[in-house]
Amino acid sequence: MESTSTPNPDTKGKEAAPPLPFNLTPDQIHQIIGALTRGSGNTKKPEIKEPSTFNGERDQLRGWLAQLSVYFKGVGSEFEYNNDKIVYALSLLRGNVLK
């Protein structure tokens, strides 16, 4: 591809961008711009499953705490403060452990 570049008086002292090939049609340029701008908006976050309830069984405690940790990291801004995390974790307690 051969391209030509003409000096631009507005870019004095600035690093010049590489010249674009002139054999692109306006439609092609719009398609490229569209593809580049759509790419940033199409990223999909993984769905984070809510932690299970906890009924106080000791052998399940570490797994339940791991579920909470993953959930809090995944939803991020929903639990801005530690008190919010504590209240949410308490809402998942069942049975004797709730007492």
The string of pLDDT tens digits covering residues 48-81 is: 889 999 999 999 999 999 999 999 988 877 888 8
What per-residue confidence (pLDDT) applies to 98? 84
What six digits make up the tokens of 11? 């870019």
What per-residue confidence (pLDDT) applies to 85? 92
The string of pLDDT tens digits covering residues 18-40 is: 666 667 778 878 788 877 777 55
> Residue 76 corresponds to which amino acid?
G
